[in-house]
Amino acid sequence: PQIRKMLSSGVCTSTIQLPGKVAVVTGANAGIGKETAKELARRGARVYLACRDVQNGELVAREIQMMTGNQQVLVRKLDLADTKSIRAFAKRFLEEEKHLHILINNAGVMMCPYSKTADGFEMHMGVNHLGHFLLTHLLLEKLEESAPSRVVNVSSLAHLLGRIHFHNLQGEKFYQSGLAYCHSKLANILFTQELARRLKASGSGVTVYSVHPGTVNSELVRHSALMRWIWWIFSFFIKTPQQGAQTSLYCALTEGLEVLSGNHFSDCHVAWVSAQARNETVARRLWDVSCDLLGIPVDWLMMAAGPKRSLKQTTQHTLPK
Ligand SMILES: NC(=O)c1ccc[n+]([C@@H]2O[C@H](COP(=O)([O-])OP(=O)(O)OC[C@H]3O[C@@H](n4cnc5c(N)ncnc54)[C@H](O)[C@@H]3O)[C@@H](O)[C@H]2O)c1
């Protein structure tokens, strides 16, 4: 354990406690999300485990309650592959909670065979990007009312290989499962940056960060025999889920991080991103296209001084069938 500790740099050293604070963690019933939720609960927050599998979520909630002594760990159904489920989750949450201080967009799928969400979106883009885009949109007013508040988008170093192909967003022209994951993780970073720009322009007290958690021993690689094998071989050297949760926790908890809103973090430090991930034009267009696909008004968070764009300029993308 000592060697493992040495190999894993980046620990969230914030001592902040969270009584009276409310947090939502997506995909909180496994891996990095579970450890993130556990630590937020340990610090006294009321934590919503937003899970696709509620039964399993309840088991995890009981485990976290027992380990932390915090009974305010609640499970709510959220399937990010279905916009109806996302809207139902948000509706219930907004009805029952006065505040939301921390939203961790953590859930993700990797290298799944070509498949589509209930709304016809390619699964990686649908779950990893569009699902969290819609969820954040629906919860933003509550975050603004609760400011200072934070959004953490769990992305990946895999964004390096990502590209936003607007003519092939649903992967119907060409599809490769590994690349589809990379594209969706690039979308996480572009969304973070565009959201940060808009929140700043609107004078909101909500800040947003994207995160690479490291290479983490979790179930994420379940769809690829090769990746499972590689993860197994290197399992001693890669991070535990608890170590993988540190950068998400750092971005959610560290005092004074507001000035770095929009940045990407790894090992609890600001991290470099690819040229693609710094392209503001692509970020703006992805924002508009995402709104279009989800039926959200493009100006749901209009740049105060930004150029007005007509949707015509942005509709050169493939709609789901
Ligand atoms: N494990 C790594 O090495 C690694 C590296 C870089 C980035 N990440 C990112 O970290 C995040 C967490 O991954 P992990 O490693 O803990 O994997 P994991 O498979 O253990 O956890 C993923 C979680 O997402 C949930 N999820 C999947 N599809 C969902 C859906 N449709 N609706 C709601 N929830 C859904 C799963 O149920 C699970 O709880 C992901 O966004 C992943 O891309 C992981």
pLDDT of residue 10: 87
Q: Is 175 a residue of the active site?
A: no
User: What does the pLDDT look like over 11-22, one tens digit per residue?
Assistant: 999 999 999 999
pLDDT of 313 > 70? The answer is no
Q: Cβ(134) to ligand 1 under 6 A?
A: no
Q: What is the predicted pLDDT for the residue at 9?
A: 66
The Å distance, Cα 32 to ligand 1 centre, comes to 7
pLDDT bracket for residue 172 (50, 70, 90)? confident
Any ligand 1 atom below 6 A from CB of 251? no
Atom of ligand 1 nearest to the CA of 215: 3
Kindly state if the Cβ of 206 falls inside 6 Å of ligand 1: no
Terminus-to-terminus CA distance in the chain, angstroms? 50
Alpha-carbon span 36 to 72, nearest angstrom: 15
- Whole-number pLDDT of residue 300: 82
Q: What is the pLDDT of residue 304?
A: 45
Pairwise pLDDT comparison (225 vs 242), residue with the higher score: 242
Q: How far is the CA of 140 from the centre of ligand 1 (A)?
A: 22
Choose one of 216, 230, 246, 249 to mutate for the ligand 1 pocket test, by most ligand atoms within 8 angstroms of C-beta: 216
Pick the CATH number of 2-10+21-314 from 3.30.420.40, 2.60.40.1260, 3.40.50.720, 3.90.1150.10: 3.40.50.720
User: Tokens for 78?
Assistant: 């959220």
Q: Is there an atom of ligand 1 within 6 Å of 127 CB?
A: yes
- 221 CA → ligand 1 middle, Å: 9
Distance between Cα 313 and ligand 1 center (Å): 34
Secondary structure letter of residue 56 according to DSSP: H
User: Does ligand 1 have an atom closer than 6 angstroms to the CB of 102?
Assistant: no
Identify whether the C-beta of residue 280 lies closer than 8 Å to the C-beta of residue 226.
no
d(CA 287, CA 303): 12
pLDDT of residue 96: 96
What ipTM was estimated for this complex? 0.99
Is residue 220 in contact with ligand 1, taking CB distance under 6 Å?
yes
Output the CA torsion 71→77→79→85 (10° steps).
Answer: -140
- Name the phi and psi angles at 119, rounded to 5: -95, 5
Ligand 1: nearest atom to the Cα of 105: 41
Q: Which residue is closest in CA terms to ligand 1's atom 17?
A: 220
Is the torsion defined by CA of 294, 135, 268, 5 positive or negative?
Answer: negative
Gap from CA of 321 to ligand 1 centroid (Å): 26
Does residue 236 contact residue 184 with C-beta atoms inside 8 Å?
Answer: no
Choose the catalytic residue: 48, 181, 209, 250. 181
Give pLDDT, residue 280.
97
Residue boundaries of the structural domains of the chain:
2-10+21-314
Give the pLDDT mean for 213-235. Answer: 81
